[in-house]
Structure 1
């Protein structure tokens, strides 16, 4: 059974294209051929073979495989115990980050789950869903994010895939995006590392190598730049500004503001809002 979605620009970050499940007949095969989108198969029962990049993987229940765009692949159900699998096909700007966090790549396309109850539940809800309400596409995109959340949660903590330079840039971008979205909250470097999916010490080292400052320093500087912008709004008190950039302690905020901007918030506001002197 295959269910197709329609292209919707509302979901450019992650878009579910189609999904389904199939109990295969013995020897049922696909390829060699390529796709122009990402696709993940998860084996519910039985066995089969997956081939990509000159490698052959003999797979069984509880394992899955990733297909990346423009990669020539083939797969075939076992003659004696043909597999039954579910799949999801998807694309979007967030995909590379999500599959990296799940420790998957074109060179490392296989995963195995020791407990697949959550994944099976997610796939069942996806496949049994019907387009009967206005929020259906949003609901399906949410289920796809849940699908990835399960893969990421169960990705081996002892696995350390090789991180190429473009991957490092991706992680740094995620840190910056997280700070820009959450600077007003009481966030920590550990919370950022958990969000990105890397060990705190490794992420801090990576970030400093590429940006030239620590994550904590970047966070403080970003908060103070935002605070400086807010001082131009006369309707906001210094306390309002302090809380708006994540500081409940106004004295600490003023101390950090002066350290970064060279002036207290009040002095900065007076300087920036003072009328320009008239010229003769």
Structure 2
């Protein structure tokens, strides 16, 4: 169901909040457009989802991560979950923009292919005279009362257009598509190994079903995903045992094991000794570590 935010001037802004959460690949959270007043400001604020703005006309500025970006007609900007940002309309030529807030398994993948991220938030088109991204976004707003399935389809087209037209897009040849999926898997493992992580979650984050994911992972790394995740976690644990003063149970929870006994068995499976035995023979005193860091 779509909830419309009422406004007295239909020519000033339109704003809809999507109240359905039906699709795991792409979920539209809210969308709209606005003709901003001079110096209109939003933020500082943090979003829980991805938020993409496209500038239909006018100018403004985005401030995020210590950087200030001056933006104008035909450009866009991305805000990522957890990113602090502020943006301001120009005092003389305030911007008119449209936006879509979204999340889902396909969201991050598509933005990665477009070359957009928290570190690279600015969208520039390969063809500034072609406003297909703008048209896709306005179509979502215009068809806000349609079914959730149709809106999700329009959202997919919107993401595809961002990838297709972005100047910073990553060219992925068919032969390297597997490498892209594997990079996605490794990035997800690196960012989530400390949690209760399953192979199904990693496969989902990579955009693949578990069976196919496990097969190409094994072919690429000569290890099953289960064994790779185990070794990755135990290598992280070994670093903590060697260089930190953390208790064994704290090391265990730091690499995704709430049960210390299970952690000790897994560690011995990889290193042939218990965590305490490993620390006894490999631990580096904090004073030594500090001297190394001070060099």
| TM-score over 0.5 (shorter chain) | yes
SS in 2 for 1:105: coil
Residue 153 of structure 1 and its aligned partner are, at CA, apart by 0.8
2:182 matches 1:169: no
Larger radius of gyration: 1
The change in CA–CA distance for 1:106 and 1:157 in structure 2 (over 3 A counts) is closer
Partner in structure 1 of residue 157 of structure 2: 146
Distance 2:211 2:155 in 1: 25
Aligned counterpart, 1:256: none
Instruction: Provide Cα deviations, 1:143-199, integer angstroms capped at 9, x if missing partner.
Output: 111111011111236868xx9x96463699558659949xxxxxxxxxxxxxxxxxx
How big is the alpha-carbon RMSD for the aligned residues of Structure 1 and Structure 2?
A: 3.2
Give the 3 Å change call, closer, same or farther, for CA 175–7 of structure 1 in structure 2: closer
Query: 1:156 and 1:211, CA in 2 relative to 1: closer, same or farther beyond 3 A?
Result: farther
- CA distance in 2 between counterparts of 1:77 and 1:157 reads 25
Judge conservation of contact 1:2–1:18 (CA < 8 Å) in 2.
yes
Could you say if the C-alpha distance between residues 178 and 144 of structure 1 is closer, same or farther in structure 2, counting changes exceeding 3 Å?
A: farther
Hey, what does 2:36 align to over in structure 1? 24
Aligned to 2:221: 211
Tell me which of 96, 107, 132 is aligned to 1:118.
132
Q: Which residue of 1 aligns with 2:247?
A: none
Correspondent of 2:113 among 89, 101, 120:
101
* TM superposition score normalised by structure 1: 0.57
Find the residue that maps to 2:83 and give its secondary structure: coil
Once the two structures are superposed, what CA deviation does each residue of 1:82-128 show, in whole Å capped at 9, x if it has no partner? 00000000112222111101111110000112243322221222111
2:48 matched residue in structure 1: 36
Q: Distance in 1 between matches of 2:107 and 2:20?
A: 16
Counterpart of 2:72 in structure 1 is: 60
Question: By how many angstroms is 1:42 displaced?
Answer: 0.4
Equivalences for 1:1-280 in 2 at 5 Å?
1-8=14-21, 10-113=22-125, 114-115=127-128, 116-131=130-145, 136-156=147-167, 167=184, 169=186, 174=206, 177=209, 180=212, 210-212=220-222
Distance 2:93 2:53 in 1: 17
For 1:40 and 1:157, how far apart are their aligned partners in 2? 15
**SS of match in other structure, 2:105:** coil
SS, match of residue 12 in structure 1: coil
**Distance in 1 of aligned mates of 2:169 and 2:144:** 39
Structure 1 regions of 5+ residues with no counterpart? 182-203, 214-280
Contact 1:64/1:111 (<8 A) preserved: yes
8 Å contact kept, 1:52–1:74:
yes
8 Å contact kept, 1:38–1:67: yes
2:157 and 2:208 mapped to 1: Cα distance? 23
Residues matched between the structures, number: 183
Is the CA contact (8 Å cut-off) linking 1:41 and 1:87 kept in structure 2?
A: yes
Shift in Å, 1:38: 1.1
* Aligned equivalents of 2:65, 2:103: Cα separation in 1: 21
Mapped contact 1:97–1:170 kept (Cα < 8 A): no
